[in-house]
């Protein structure tokens, strides 16, 4: 057992935690949309206009604030007009990025917007810069948001939607340094400036335009951020994106379920490095935008492993263990701490792809350990982040992995503290001074199991949230954190 001291000061507010930090990402990739979210109206799986009811309920339970769509790399070859109108005549296309399968476009703009309405989350749409046109993008915005008389609003009405939707978040391209066109930063910048000029605010709808930002740390990526920040103002871009996956080796990414302690700490080391990259990108942004008018949007993040044996390599289907839960907790705590600049984050991806929160097989649905972390952390949404310090130590030799990951927030007289013991070797006990907060009641929940444990269709509750004992005496909180655990504490 290792002992740590911690201090939380409710008077020291360090920023507002936008609820969108707890956001998600869905792409036309593998079984994310088809089978995962959408099964079609004729399916025997309970659905609303083809959208799975169990998935809607699961999304609502974690108060999903925002959902990004249609990609990813798919976004820069998606032509939105192929996904509207009578389904029997919608064009079929080949999904060149993800397995070369046929995309029948049965899930398009209307279906996505309905999904967001059913869940009660903000839609975040990525437009096509790589293989699209300025006109195509401009017309999509007009189609979705214009309330007057115009060719696109008439087309929308003809397709059954009289009133426009509200659309806030709109990304202009995706990974345009890679699958979105292999552009240099200067070229993308000019493209961005042109495209965004025609993304208009119609009928009281105000777009929050997001430029494609960097894809990691290192000088080229810091330069990408610098080129954008130097040449864009908040009227042109309210956010720039940032993508960072935890991948030890792109050739052999390792198994999602079979790993040793070295593999475990390697992934945690990568997840923790996100903190360093965010700090560096934030420093650059601060130089050009000291008032935080342009936000950093981590719109793809998570663990990326080899696909499950026997599954389509282009579908990126992987299992999800307690290791993923620890990484999710660590990264969400990092995002909370960076909340002045990081205003949205979308884990990749929401169902059946990469670090998914949900796995489906036919009518069966499993909530992964990562799902439970989002459930435990949801009280941070729209709360004020407060000072939270632990006298930490690294939990493994040679790698930078703080043993205790933590963050704290206050909202409506309730303090929430989220913790992870990242060690798989040592238990910990935390003695925490709670300053400037008069707590009468305390309760806690824990997620803990062997690091390899996962939820399967045969054993869907193996990793589950349970109540946990904590002690509060004279503003001193004492809590035990078993090795490999995530704990959420509520004080009020």
CB 96 within 8 A of CB 76: no
**Which lies closer to ligand AHR via its Cβ, residue 370 or residue 406?**
370
Q: How far is the CB of 354 from ligand AHR (least distance, A)?
A: 6
| Cβ atoms of residues 63 and 378 within 8 Å | yes
Query: With binding defined as CB under 6 A, does residue 71 bind ligand AHR?
Result: yes
Nearest residue to 357 (alpha-carbon basis) of 313, 327, 314, 336: 327
- Do 306 and 351 form a contact (C-beta atoms < 8 A)? no
Q: What is the DSSP letter of 352?
A: S
Q: Kindly state whether residue 298 participates in binding ligand AHR, applying the rule CB under 6 A.
A: no
| 96 vs 205 by CB, closer to ligand AHR | 96
Choose among 34, 161, 160, 49: nearest CA to 105: 34
Catalytic residue among 122, 175, 449, 488: 175
The residue within the footprint of ligand AHR, chosen from 95, 174, 256, 346 (CB under 6 A), is 174
Rounded to 5 degrees, φ, ψ at 48 are -115, 115
Q: Select the residue interacting with ligand AHR from 77, 139, 142, 175 (CB under 6 A).
A: 175
Note whether 73 binds ligand AHR by CB under 6 A. yes
- Asked if 173 and 153 touch (Cβ cutoff 8 Å), the reply is no
Q: Does 299 bind ligand AHR (CB under 6 A)?
A: no
Looking at the Cβ atoms of 225 and 405, the one nearer to ligand AHR is 225
The nearest distance, CB 96 to ligand AHR, in angstroms, is: 12
CB closer to ligand AHR, 178 vs 460: 178
d(CA 175, CA 213): 8
Least spacing, CB of residue 46 vs ligand AHR, in Å: 28
Secondary structure class of 355 (helix, strand, coil) = coil
The alpha-carbon radius of gyration of the chain (Å, integer) is 22
Nearer to ligand AHR, 93 or 439 (CB): 93
What's the N-to-C CA distance of the chain in angstroms?
A: 29
Q: How far is the CB of 217 from ligand AHR (least distance, A)?
A: 16
SS3 state at 482: coil
Stretch near ligand AHR under the rule CB under 6 A, chosen from 7-15, 68-76, 186-194, 274-282: 68-76
Buried residues in 84-113 as b, exposed as e (16+ CB within 10 A)? bbebeebeebebebbeebebbbbbbbbbbb
Do residues 196 and 236 make contact, with C-beta atoms less than 8 angstroms apart?
yes
317 touches 265 (CB < 8 A)? no
Q: Considering beta carbons, is residue 68 or 90 the nearer one to ligand AHR?
A: 68
Known catalytic membership, residue 20: no
Q: Nearest distance from residue 293's CB to ligand AHR, in Å?
A: 26
Looking at 275, 300, 324, 375, which residue binds ligand AHR (CB under 6 A)? 300
Minimum Å gap between C-beta 41 and ligand AHR is 27
Nearer to ligand AHR, 38 or 98 (CB): 98
CB closer to ligand AHR out of 356 and 401: 356
- Distance of closest approach, residue 166 Cβ to ligand AHR, in angstroms: 25
Token pair of 191 as six digits: 């493209």
User: Which CB atom, from 152 or from 274, has the smaller least distance to ligand AHR?
Assistant: 274
CA dist., res. 356 & res. 347, Å (int): 8
Burial class for 205, CB neighbours closer than 10 Å (0-12, 13-18, 19+) = middle
Please report whether residue 488 would count as binding ligand AHR according to CB under 6 A.
no
Which of 278, 348, 396, 444 is close enough to bind ligand AHR by CB under 6 A?
348
Interface stretch with ligand AHR, choices 14-22, 69-77, 191-199, 321-329 (CB under 6 A): 69-77
Q: How far apart are CA 246 and CA 31, in angstroms?
A: 21
Site string for ligand AHR, 465-484 (x = CB under 6 A): --------------------
Does residue 123 touch ligand AHR according to CB under 6 A? no
Residue 228 has phi, psi (to 5 degrees) of -65, -50
| Dihedral angle sign, alpha carbons of residues 32, 60, 116, 246 | negative
Compute CA 278 distance to the chain's CA centroid, rounded to the nearest angstrom. 15
- Catalytic one among 300, 363, 458, 473? 300
27 near ligand AHR (CB under 6 A) = yes
Length of the chain equals 492
DSSP 87: G
Q: To the nearest whole angstrom, how small is the minimum distance from the Cβ of residue 412 to ligand AHR?
A: 35
> Which residue, among 129, 135, 164, 159, has the nearest Cα to 148 in the 3D structure?
164
Q: Answer yes or no: 384 catalytic.
A: no
Nearest residue (CB) to ligand AHR, 108 versus 130: 130
Residue nearest ligand AHR, CB atom distance? 72
356 contacts ligand AHR (rule: CB under 6 A):
no
* Per CB under 6 A, 199 contacts ligand AHR: no
Give the nearest distance from C-beta 356 to ligand AHR in angstroms. Answer: 11
Give residue for tokens 């965004």: 196
Q: How far is the CB of 188 from ligand AHR (least distance, A)?
A: 15
| Residues near ligand AHR (CB under 6 A), total | 10
Q: Of these, 15, 65, 70, 72, which contacts ligand AHR (CB under 6 A)?
A: 72
Contacts of 369 (CB under 8 A, 6+ apart): 320, 321, 322, 324, 325, 328, 447, 449, 453, 454, 455, 463
Residues that bind ligand AHR (CB under 6 A): 27, 71-73, 174-175, 300, 348-349, 354
So which residues are the catalytic ones? 175, 300
């Amino acid at each position: 057992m290792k002992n740590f001291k911690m201090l939380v000061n409710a008077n020291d507010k360090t920023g507002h935690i936008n609820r969108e930090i707890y956001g998600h990402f869905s792409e036309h990739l593998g079984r994310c949309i088809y089978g995962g979210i959408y099964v079609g109206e004729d399916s025997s799986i309970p659905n609303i206009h083809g959208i799975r009811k169990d998935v809607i309920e699961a999304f609502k339970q974690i108060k999903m604030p925002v959902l990004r769509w249609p990609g990813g790399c798919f976004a820069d070859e998606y032509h939105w007009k192929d996904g509207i109108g009578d389904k029997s005549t919608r064009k079929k296309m080949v999904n060149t990025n993800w397995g070369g399968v046929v995309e029948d476009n049965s899930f398009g703009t209307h279906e996505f917007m309905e999904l967001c309405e059913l869940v009660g989350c903000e839609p975040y749409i990525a437009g096509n810069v790589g293989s699209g046109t300025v006109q195509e993008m401009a017309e999509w915005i007009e189609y979705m948001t214009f309330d007057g008389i115009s060719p696109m609003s008439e087309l929308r009405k003809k397709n059954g939607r009289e009133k426009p939707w509200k659309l806030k978040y709109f990304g202009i391209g995706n990974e345009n340094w890679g699958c979105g066109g292999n552009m240099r930063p200067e070229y993308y910048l000019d493209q961005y400036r042109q495209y965004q000029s025609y993304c208009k605010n119609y009928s009281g709808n105000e777009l929050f335009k997001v430029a494609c930002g960097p894809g990691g740390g290192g000088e080229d990526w810091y330069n990408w951020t610098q080129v954008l920040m130097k040449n864009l103002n908040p009227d042109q871009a309210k956010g720039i994106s940032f993508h960072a996956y935890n991948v030890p080796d792109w050739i052999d990414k390792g198994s999602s379920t079979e790993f040793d302690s070295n593999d475990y700490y390697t992934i945690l080391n990568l997840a923790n490095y996100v903190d360093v990259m965010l700090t560096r990108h934030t420093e650059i942004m601060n130089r050009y935008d000291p008032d935080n008018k342009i936000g950093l949007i981590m719109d793809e993040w998570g663990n990326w492993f080899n696909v499950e044996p026997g599954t389509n390599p282009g579908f990126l289907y992987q299992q999800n263990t307690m290791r993923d839960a620890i990484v999710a907790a660590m990264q969400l705590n990092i995002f909370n701490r960076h909340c002045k600049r990081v205003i949205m984050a979308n884990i990749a991806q929401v169902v059946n792809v990469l670090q998914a929160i949900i796995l489906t097989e036919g009518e069966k649905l499993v909530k992964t350990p990562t799902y439970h972390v989002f459930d435990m952390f949801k009280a941070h949404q729209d709360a004020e982040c407060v000072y939270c310090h632990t006298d930490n130590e690294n939990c493994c030799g040679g790698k930078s992995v703080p043993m205790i990951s933590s963050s704290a927030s206050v909202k409506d007289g309730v303090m929430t503290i989220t913790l992870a013991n990242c060690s798989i070797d040592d238990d910990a006990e935390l003695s925490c001074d709670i300053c400037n907060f008069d707590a009468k009641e305390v309760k806690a929940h824990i997620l803990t199991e062997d690091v390899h444990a996962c939820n399967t269709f045969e054993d869907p509750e193996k990793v589950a949230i349970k109540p946990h004992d904590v002690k509060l005496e004279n503003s001193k909180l004492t809590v035990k954190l078993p090795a490999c655990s995530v704990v959420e504490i509520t004080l009020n």
